Amino acid sequence: MASYTKSEAREWARERLVGAVNCTIPSFTNDLRGINEKGIRHDIRLAKEHGFLGTLGVSEVNITLPEYIDFLEIMKDEARNDLVIVHHASWSTLEQNIEAVQRAEAAGAELVLLSYPPNFYPESEQDIYDYTKAVCDATNLAVILFPMFLWGFSQRIHPSDIPARLIRRMLDDIPNIAVIKAEGGFPSIMGIIEAHRLFGEEVVISCPIEGELLPLGQLIPIQLSATSDHEFWGPTIPHAMNLLREGKFDEVTELYWQMHPARKAKGAMAQLLNGGHFIDRQLWKFQGWLRGYNGGPLRLPTQRIHDPQMNILRKGLIDAGFEPSMDPFSEFFVGRNPA
C-alpha cells in the first residue's frame, strides 16, 4: 500500500520523485517456463547501486499477469524502501489494465506509468479522456501521464499526441495524475517546454530522453527523468542529475559530449531495429547487460539482436570512455544469474 492518499499524490510526487527512474525488464528461467528471481533481484540491487530513485517493472514482454505480479513483488521485496517501484500499465484492454493496476497496487507498486493499448483507436479527445480517467479512477496510486508518438494519436487527435487543452482537463478532473512524461511531438522539444510552462507548478514534469535532459536541465528545473533505458549508462544519469541540481553546468556539458559517441550508436540502433513504432525490449535488455545487468532470454514473440548491432552498442560505450562488459555475446542470452 502506498504511503500517501490519492489526494496527496501530487504532493508526494513533488517530494519523492527527485532523480532518475530506469527500467527493469523481467528475467526468465533458461527454459522460459517461469520468471528468474535471482536475475530480477540482481537487477534491483544494481539499480540501487547505480543511484536510481526508482525502476519500472516492464510489462511489454511475453509475461502473464500472475507472473508479472510475482515479478513486482520480488522487485519490491529486494528494493524495500530504497526504490520506487513503478507499475507499467501496458496490457491489452482497459479491463486488463484495471485488474493489473489494482493488483500492482496491492503488490507494493507506488507509481503507475500509463500506456494505451495497441488496439485502442481513439477518434476524439473524449475517447482518450475516458480511457485515462477509467484507469486512474481504479487506483489510489500516483499516475504518470505519457504523451507519446507510439500511441498513434498525432494524425487524428493533435500533432503533440495529447494536446495541452486535454491535459488541462484531465489534470482538473483526475487528482492522481501527478507526473507528465513529456515526450509529446517527439523528437521536438516543444512537448516538454509546453508541459513545463503550463503545468510545471501543478505536477512533476519528467524529461526521459537524456539527450534532452542534460541540455534543457541547464535552462529549466527538471527534477525527474522517468522512465527510460537509463541502465545503458550505468550510474551516469543519476550522477548527471545531481550535477544539474548543484548547478555544475560545465561538468554536465563535458559529460554530455563524452557520452555522444554512445548516444549516436544507441540512437542508430533504435532507429534501425524499431523504426520508431515499437520499443525493442531485447535491445534494451542487451544495453543493460553491457553495464552489468542480468540479461538473459526473452520469450517469443520478441525482437532479435545480432552481432553487428551488439558490436556497435559496445563500441559506442568504449568510444565514450565507459567500460562495458567484454564477456562473449553468447553469455547475454544465458544471463548473469541463470536459473
* Structural domain contains residue 328: no
Predicted local distance difference test score (pLDDT) of residue 257:
98
Q: Which residues contact 233 (CB under 8 A, 6 or more apart)?
A: 210, 259, 262, 291, 322
Question: Whole domain around residue 174: which residue ranges?
Answer: 6-247
* Structural domain contains residue 156: yes
Q: Percent of the chain, pLDDT > 90?
A: 94
Rounded Cα gap, residues 60 and 62, in angstroms: 7
* Structural domain contains residue 147: yes
* Structural domain contains residue 205: yes
223-267 tens-digit pLDDT: 999 999 999 999 999 999 999 999 999 999 999 999 999 999 998
Does residue 272 register a pLDDT over 90?
A: no
Q: Give the residues across from 177 on adjacent strands.
A: 143
Peptide bond into 26 cis (omega under 30): no
Rounded Cα gap, residues 33 and 263, in angstroms: 35
pLDDT band (50, 70, 90) for residue 269: confident
125-178 tens-digit pLDDT: 999 999 999 999 999 999 999 999 999 999 899 999 999 999 999 999 999 999
Q: Percent of the chain, pLDDT > 70?
A: 98
* Structural domain contains residue 320: no
Does residue 298 register a pLDDT over 70?
A: yes
**Looking at per-residue confidence, does 215 or 280 come out higher?**
215
Q: What is the mean pLDDT of the chain?
A: 96
pLDDT band (50, 70, 90) for residue 277: low
pTM reported for the whole predicted model: 0.97
Total tally of structural domains belonging to the chain: 1
Q: What is the mean pLDDT of the segment spanning 78-86?
A: 97
pLDDT band (50, 70, 90) for residue 270: confident
280 to each of 41, 146, 208, 242, 286, how far by Cα in Å? 22, 18, 17, 29, 10
* Structural domain contains residue 336: no
* Structural domain contains residue 21: yes
* Structural domain contains residue 283: no
> What CATH number is given to the structural domain containing 229?
3.20.20.70
Predicted local distance difference test score (pLDDT) of residue 278:
66
Q: What is the mean pLDDT of the segment spanning 202-226?
A: 98
Q: What is the mean pLDDT of the segment spanning 285-290?
A: 98
Predicted local distance difference test score (pLDDT) of residue 279:
81
* Residue 14: all three cell numbers together: 513533488
Does residue 49 register a pLDDT over 60?
A: yes
